[in-house]
């Protein structure tokens, strides 16, 4: 079976949906952010702080290359994975790209109390989310399926993913 690749902005629910899918399908799950942290031996916030975003994106590209070779897996990606077209091309080789969409306000509500995302540690995270979403919209459009998760809980999104891949 094809890999299920979850893309979407920070707070879209990719990790929670990935875990639910693992539970429902018994498929293995990998998370490119976890792979990066394991390989680098440090947290993503530390990688950004010490080496900058450009370096993080290179590590992300390598993690994506590795994950793309897997089969029958749920692949949870970081929100910026779509920025390199090469990443999506790699992930698509063995997988279907499913973009979990949510509007800025919903994303903000989901992430506002969390501190581990360096790109959102700013004075006005909602404004930052709006700006980034606008910039990234054409990148997230590079998908095979979209689920609008605004009014859905994790279980409902996971059920929808399963419907999509069974089609």
Binding site for ligand S3P (CB under 6 A): 10, 14, 33, 44, 78-80, 117-119
Kindly tell me which of 112 and 163 has the beta carbon lying closer to ligand S3P. 112
d(CA 127, CA 116): 18
> Which region holds residue 10: left if phi is over 0, alpha if psi is between -120 and 50, else beta?
beta
Tell me the closest approach of the beta carbon of residue 94 to ligand S3P, in angstroms. Answer: 21
Kindly tell me which of 39 and 163 has the beta carbon lying closer to ligand S3P. 39
Kindly tell me which of 4 and 10 has the beta carbon lying closer to ligand S3P. 10
Tell me the closest approach of the beta carbon of residue 80 to ligand S3P, in angstroms. Answer: 3
Tell me the closest approach of the beta carbon of residue 24 to ligand S3P, in angstroms. Answer: 20
Tell me the closest approach of the beta carbon of residue 82 to ligand S3P, in angstroms. Answer: 9
């Amino acid at each position: 079976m094809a890999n299920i690749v979850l893309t979407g902005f920070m707070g879209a629910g990719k990790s929670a949906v990935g875990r639910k899918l693992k539970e429902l399908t018994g498929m293995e799950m990998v998370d490119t952010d976890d792979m990066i942290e394991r390989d680098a031996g440090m947290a993503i916030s530390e990688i950004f702080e010490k080496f900058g975003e450009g370096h993080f994106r290179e590590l992300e590209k390598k993690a994506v290359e590795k994950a793309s070779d897997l089969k029958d897996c749920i692949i949870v990606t970081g929100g910026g994975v779509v920025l390199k077209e090469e990443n999506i091309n790699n992930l698509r080789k063995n997988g279907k790209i499913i973009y979990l969409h949510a509007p800025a306000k919903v994303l903000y509500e989901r992430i506002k109390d969390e501190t581990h995302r360096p790109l959102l540690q700013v004075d006005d995270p909602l404004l930052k989310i709006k700006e980034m979403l606008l910039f990234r919209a054409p990148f997230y459009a590079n998908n095979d399926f979209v689920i609008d998760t605004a009014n859905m809980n994790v279980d409902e999104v996971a059920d929808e993913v399963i419907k999509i891949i069974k089609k």
